[in-house]
Amino acid sequence: MCTTLVVGRNRSTTGQVVLAHSEELGRNAAHRVCVVPGRDVPPGERFPLYSSGSLDQPGRTARYLATRIFDKQHYPGDYTSGINEHGVVVANNMAMMRGVPEEQMYEVVPGGIIWTEFLQLVLERATSAREGAALVEELAVRHGLSCDSGTMIAIADPDEAWWVELARDGLWAAERVGDDAVSVRANCYRIGAGRDGDAGSALGSPDLAAQAASRGWPAGSPASFADTVGDPANQCDRYNLDRHEVLEGKLRGCEKVGVSDLIELLREVFEDTPLYRSRPDGSPFRTEVRTIARMNTEVCTILEPRREMPPELAHRMWCCMSTSLTGTFVPFHLGITSVEPHYATASGRYDPESAYWLFTELAKLVDGRYRACADVVRNQWACFERETSAALAAVEDGLAGADLAQAVEAVTMFDERRASDAIRVLRELLVEVKTRAFFEDF
């Protein structure tokens, strides 16, 4: 149950599209950061599908940087967001299809493609957002969606972004995000609502009206994928609408949107709105209102595809493990030759060498003594992120004139050092927070 924001290029501070995503699966779906090298694919190799069957492979797959669940069988799922060497970025939100009972939503559809496989296939094969959207549409029609009744995939590059909304039985719709828009998705379909799409860009299953009629669904407007295919209760659930309304309200006040703005939006618990709720102990988590930052967040990412440098240096991902409210965002560039060990480690059991588990431990402790601990943690990470941004700008400015190998080594060293610094500060915070959590004097 995720939240995604896509910033059109004219609304971005960089003049290029940016995507922000918060991943919430539950079930201790521990995440790690990984770099997958591009490679020439041996003749005859196939792409295996979780739901049985396989796909033809292209002659070459692209290099990509991604967040990944520790075990594909766990959820099931694998890559949850990422950016490739062509500057194509992807993320996903679940939705609910009309006519599929909740107990059947996650059934395996033999030969179908699951949500993270769609993301991986885009990362491996797409050279542009438009090409990625077309690939998802083609695969959805040919193979169908498995292990969900509905899903929504955001696909972007520096110049444009698309939403592709899928349901079972090959039903789909796609719409380009307007260059002047910031498009928000919670967990219900939106194509056809006319909020942020590029006029005239909407596409969809040509037989949608006939399919709806054959299933006895209300007539409505066949041009509205959301109204036709979306589960009616889910489409009007405040669980989804609250996120849409709060984020869109805040974004209306932003002429331009940058990484720092998206970080703050991913940390939203609606403190300055009528929707704000807190428990008696002060914590905004686990109340009756569904916020953006949550206790069951596995990872948040901000994906920046950029044109002004070689792809290894230009394309980067900001990553925050566990809930964004008590964690910090650190950068990873596409070209890095290794990932800091704590961020590269994840498993189904608590592991003190895993960034995911350490940040989750911090979040749980803060939630238990929120008033005593929250401000200490948030202030520390605010200072850390200011230092990160300033140091990163200096490093990237200094790459002018360096050869590519030297530049890749420089960003690899910076990213590893900054991620390691985050773990060092985190361990210090754990001592302080445990002291405050265990003693009533604070």
DSSP string of 219-281, one letter each residue: -S-TT-HHHHHB-HHHHT-HHHHHHHHHHHHHHHT-SSB-HHHHHHHHT---TTSTT----TT
**Is there a contact between 174 and 220 (Cβ–Cβ < 8 Å)?**
no
**What average pLDDT does the structure give for the chain?**
93
What pLDDT sits at residue 199? 59
**φ, ψ for residue 73 (rounded to 5)?**
-75, -15
For residue 108, which phi and psi values (nearest 5 degrees)?
-75, 130
220: confidence class by pLDDT, cuts 50, 70, 90: low
**In this predicted model, what pLDDT tens digit does every residue of 48-68 receive, in sequence order?**
999 999 999 999 999 999 999
pLDDT value of residue 334: 98
- Looking at residue 440, its pLDDT comes to 67
pLDDT computed for residue 209 by the predictor = 84
Residue with token string 């939630």: 367
Q: Domain 3-333, what fold?
A: Penicillin V Acylase; Chain A (3.60.60)
What are the pLDDT digits (tens) for 307-327?
989 999 999 999 999 999 999
Quick one: DSSP state of residue 399? T
Q: Which of 220, 205, 124 is nearest to 172 (CA)?
A: 205
Question: Could you tell me where the beta strands, DSSP code E, fall in 11-69?
Answer: 18-24, 31-36, 39-40, 46-48, 54-56, 60-61, 64-69
Q: Which of 52-61, 64-73, 297-306, 399-408 has the lowest mean pLDDT?
A: 399-408
Residue 194 predicted with pLDDT over 60 = no
Residues 6+ apart with CB under 8 A from 132: 88, 90, 122, 125, 126, 155, 162
Which pLDDT value is given to residue 212?
Answer: 85
What amino acid is encoded at 48 in this protein? Answer: P
- Is pLDDT of 74 > 90? no
- What does the pLDDT read at residue 193? 61
- pLDDT at res. 326: 97
Contact of 163 with 153, CB cutoff 8 Å: yes
Residue whose tokens read 């209300």: 218
Q: Between 210 and 131, where is the model more confident?
A: 131
pLDDT, residue 224, reads 87
CB-count burial class (<10 Å; 0-12, 13-18, 19+) for 303: buried
Q: What confidence tier does 222 reach under pLDDT thresholds 50, 70, 90?
A: low
Beta bridge mates, 166: 151, 172
In the prediction, which pLDDT does 102 show?
Answer: 85
Contact between residue 332 and residue 317 where contact means Cβ atoms under 8 Å apart = yes
Is residue 296 within 8 Å of residue 322, measured between CB atoms?
Answer: no
CA atoms within 13 A on the CB side of 436: 21
pLDDT of residue 134: 96
pLDDT at 369 over 90: yes
Measured distance CA(85)–CA(335) in Å, rounded: 9
pLDDT at position 366 is 96
Q: Quick: pLDDT tens for 15-34.
A: 999 999 999 987 789 999 99
pLDDT in tens, 231-269: 999 999 999 999 999 999 999 889 999 999 999 999 999
Name the packing angle between helices 370-397 and 355-368 (round to 10°): 140
DSSP-assigned beta bridge partners for residue 33: 67
Sheet (strand 3-7) strand order: 182-185, 3-7, 18-24, 297-304, 316-321, 330-333
| % of the chain surpassing 70 pLDDT | 96
Q: What is the pLDDT of residues 95-137, one digit of tens each?
A: 999 999 888 989 999 999 999 999 999 999 999 999 999 999 9
Q: Average the pLDDT over 79-104 and give the result.
A: 95
Instruction: Work out the angle at residue 3's Cα, subtended by the Cα atoms of residues 162 and 359, and round it to the nearest 5 degrees.
Output: 130
Rounded Cα gap, residues 385 and 421, in angstroms: 11
Please name the helix (run of DSSP H) or strand (run of DSSP E) that holds residue 120, with its range, or none.
helix 115-125
C-alpha–C-alpha distance, residues 175 and 193, integer Å? 11
